Homo-oligomer: A and B are copies of this chain.
Amino acid sequence: MNRNELITQIRRKGSFLCVGLDTDPQKLPALFAKDEDAVFNFNKAIIDATHDLCVAYKPNTAFYESLGVSGWIALEKTIDYLNTKYPDHFTIADAKRGDIGNTSAMYAKAFLDKMNFDSVTVAPYMGEDSVTPFLGKEGKWVILLALTSNKGALDLQTLNVGPADQVEEKLFERVLKVSGQWGNASNMMYVVGATQASMLERIRQIVPDHFLLVPGVGAQGGSLEDVARFGMNKDCGLLVNASRSILYASSGSDFAEKAREEALNMQQQMAALL
């Protein structure tokens, strides 16, 4: 999906919601207890209940890998279902990969070619040749970690870097600047946690045009209003993710209905902010 198509979907739906499919079998409603295809069937129900309210879906690969082969099958079925039934949705493999060039190329093949996700999250620590193998495919995106939503983000990402005699620059700001030489606002986005909303002003000075994928609203405590105030640009420029707050809105047989209510609540806030 290219940038214009994504923006069109956001305007059409009045939503910049991404639903995170962090599907944990331990947390599924009891009605899935004897379902051998529980993860996919749960995802399918969540997708069917929320598709008109969101513009993106983001399975986190960790939840699928923790189940071994059956998890990988559920992940493939989920992305196939999205690509077949809801091709207007932007899809994100939240995989946080990154390796030396020939190896990153294998990850790009796995997620962007074989599974046909629109995008994959990538960790920046290994630098340019770990990121560029994911670029250059038509309509495909890298979503690079910049400033994450967790407490550990403060361990390295906010360290000051660069020559001592120059203006203060933090590591995540360097990531934003240097990666501007690798990709552009039509094939690269950045992960910026909602728990760091106060940093969004600084981030928008460096990357005014790029889309930002914003986790941390909901279970992690970030504010949607703050994210929109400091992070929105003329094309919206935001994908705000919610996972647990939607997936596990109810543990009963009304889980899909409650997930829809939670997504609708977020979509309505987003429509007002757009």
Residues of chain A touching chain B, judged by Cβ–Cβ distance below 8 Å, are: 22, 24, 60, 62-63, 65-69, 72-73, 76, 96-101, 103-104, 106-107, 109-111, 114-115, 123-131, 145, 148-157, 159-165, 171, 174-175, 178, 220
The CA-CA distance from A110 to B64 in the complex, in Å, is 9
Q: Which residue of B lies closest to A191 (CB)?
A: B126
Task: Tell me how far the C-beta of A247 lies from the nearest C-beta in chain B, rounded to whole angstroms.
Answer: 13
Q: Which 10 pairs from chain A and chain B are nearest by CB?
A: A127-B152, A127-B155, A164-B164, A62-B106, A65-B110, A66-B106, A100-B150, A159-B161, A128-B152, A129-B152
Q: Which residue of B lies closest to A123 (CB)?
A: B123
The CA-CA distance from A157 to B127 in the complex, in Å, is 8
Given contacts A69-B72, A69-B76, contact A145 B125 (CB under 8 A): yes
Task: Tell me how far the C-beta of A147 lies from the nearest C-beta in chain B, rounded to whole angstroms.
Answer: 10
The CA-CA distance from A42 to B123 in the complex, in Å, is 31
Q: Is the CB–CB distance between B171 and A153 below 8 Å?
A: no
Given contacts A66-B106, A159-B174, contact A151 B127 (CB under 8 A): yes
Q: Is the CB–CB distance between B151 and A66 below 8 Å?
A: no
Given contacts A63-B103, A69-B72, A110-B65, contact A145 B126 (CB under 8 A): yes
Q: Is the CB–CB distance between A68 and B155 below 8 Å?
A: no
Offer 23 A-B interface pairs, CB within 8 angstroms, sorted by A: A24-B106, A62-B106, A62-B107, A65-B110, A66-B106, A68-B72, A68-B76, A68-B114, A69-B69, A96-B97, A100-B149, A101-B150, A125-B125, A125-B156, A126-B153, A127-B152, A127-B156, A156-B171, A156-B178, A159-B161, A159-B171, A160-B161, A164-B165
Could you say which of A125, A165, A171 has the most chain B C-beta atoms within 10 Å of its C-beta? A125
Given contacts A110-B66, A110-B68, A125-B156, contact A99 B96 (CB under 8 A): yes
Task: Tell me how far the C-beta of A205 lies from the nearest C-beta in chain B, rounded to whole angstroms.
Answer: 20
Q: Is the CB–CB distance between B157 and A125 below 8 Å?
A: yes
* A125 contacts across to B, CB distance below 8 A: 123-125, 145, 148, 156-157
Given contacts A159-B161, A171-B159, contact A126 B152 (CB under 8 A): yes
Cross-interface CB contact of A97 among B62, B127, B153, cutoff 8 Å: B62
* A220 contacts across to B, CB distance below 8 A: 100
Q: Which residue of B lies closest to A168 (CB)?
A: B164
Given contacts A123-B125, A126-B148, A150-B126, contact A62 B160 (CB under 8 A): no
8 more contacts with CB within 8 A, not counting A60-B103, A129-B150, are A63-B103, A65-B106, A66-B110, A96-B99, A125-B145, A126-B152, A127-B150, A161-B161
